[in-house]
Each structure stands twice: as structure tokens, then as C-alpha cells.
């Protein structure tokens, strides 16, 4: 059974992106498992702290999850037309030490939700050079930009729009088929 590690780039309790990730897990095709990881406990990167204390336990756990996964699904918000700092920070930490080897050749898909009109088009594009540098195998056969997420989600950030859930199901199925 293919296993996909899913990471949301938002820490907000009622995050549209965390809701999109939960929905992706729920609509994954039979025989595909999406395991949701968390970046919430990842500290800000500090080279001095790394030298003194090593890789934090939260990052070691994410790297273990990534090593066990057949693919990685990044569900990214877009802040000021770019990658959220907290999400980039988590990936930067994960790439330190031996963690970088977990990205080499790993299939990665990127999607995201935004309350704005353009989904997360800029943020998704900004991930491309980062993922290339990490040596991932980026999946470009599908694209999902969830715009006006406030109209598609409930007050807890859960995706409730059937049309968008179907698009998400197709996106996840396409990515899973490429693994």
C-alpha cells in the first residue's frame, strides 16, 4: 500500500490548508494511505542550537515519517505571495544532517488553499526551486489551486464543498498513481 506523508504549512487551529490535508486523507483512493505529520513543534532553525544539541526530536520524527513514506504531499498556504516562513523552516530543518537523503528522489506534490482569488499559485511556484535543490521528484501532472477557501470550508477549516472534494480526490489519485 503506498504511503504519502502529508504536511500542512499552517499552524492555525482552523487552517484551510490543514482542512484540505485532512480531506485529502479522507478522499485518498482505496489502498493509499495519507499519514498527516505536524510541523507545530519544529523550532526556528539556529545553527548554534543544532551544533550544541543536534537535530530536535520533532524534526527527527518528521524525517522518520518521510523516510517511511513513498511520497510527500505539501499543502501550502500563501503569505505575501510566497512560502510561509514556518513551513520553509520545517523543511530546512528536515534537510539538515542525514535528513537530506530522505528527500532525494522522493515524489512530491504541492497543493494549497487560500481565501484569495488565486489559490496558492505563487507559493506553489516558490516551492519549485526548493524541491529541486533537495533533489525531489516533483509531480507536475496535476495542479490544484483552492481559491476562496472561506466559502468552501466550515468554521473549523474542514473542506465541505463537494466539487472541490472531487477535484482533490482526482489530484490525490493522480499523485498516488505516479508512486
Cell numbers 496558492: residue:
120
pLDDT at residue 74 in the model: 98
Mapping DSSP to helix (H, G, I), strand (E, B) and coil, where does residue 10 land?
coil
CB-CB contact of 116 with 147 (8 Å): yes
Q: Domain coordinates of the chain in residue numbers? A: 3-177
Is pTM beyond 0.95 here? Answer: yes
pLDDT tens-digit readout, 79-102: 999 999 999 999 999 999 999 999
Any idea what the Cα angle at residue 123 is, between residues 117 and 128, rounded to 5°?
Answer: 140
CATH no. for 3-177: 3.40.50.360
Any idea what the Cα angle at residue 131 is, between residues 32 and 98, rounded to 5°?
Answer: 85
Give pLDDT < 50 ranges for the chain: none
pLDDT at residue 147 in the model: 96
Range list of H helices, the chain: 16-27, 47-53, 57-68, 85-94, 121-133, 162-177
| CA quadruple 18, 98, 138, 82: dihedral sign | positive
What is the separation, in whole angstroms, between the first and last Cα of the chain?
Answer: 10
Residue 32, Cβ neighbours under 10 Å: how many? 20
pLDDT at residue 1 in the model: 87
**Among 100, 126, 123, CA closest to 112:** 123
Amino acid at each position: 500500500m503506498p504511503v504519502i506523508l502529508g504536511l500542512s504549512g499552517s499552524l492555525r487551529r482552523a487552517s484551510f490548508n490543514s482542512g484540505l490535508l485532512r480531506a485529502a486523507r479522507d478522499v485518498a483512493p482505496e489502498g493509499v494511505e495519507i499519514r498527516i505529520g505536524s510541523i507545530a513543534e519544529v523550532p526556528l532553525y539556529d545553527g548554534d542550537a543544532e551544533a550544541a544539541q543536534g537535530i530536535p526530536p520533532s524534526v527527527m520524527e518528521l524525517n522518520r515519517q518521510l523516510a517511511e513514506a513513498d511520497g510527500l504531499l505539501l499543502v501550502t498556504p500563501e503569505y505575501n505571495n510566497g512560502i510561509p516562513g514556518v513551513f520553509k523552516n520545517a523543511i530546512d530543518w528536515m534537510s539538515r544532517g542525514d535528513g537530506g537523503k530522505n528527500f532525494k528522489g522522493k515524489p512530491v506534490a504541492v497543493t494549497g488553499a487560500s481565501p484569495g482569488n488565486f489559490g496558492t499559485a505563487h507559493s506553489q511556484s516558490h516551492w519549485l526551486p526548493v524541491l529541486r535543490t533537495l533533489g525531489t521528484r516533483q509531480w507536475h501532472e496535476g495542479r490544484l489551486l483552492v481559491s476562496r477557501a472561506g466559502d468552501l470550508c466550515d468554521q473549523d477549516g474542514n473542506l465541505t464543498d463537494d466539487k472541490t472534494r472531487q477535484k482533490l480526490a482526482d489530484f490525490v489519485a493522480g499523485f498516488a498513481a505516479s508512486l
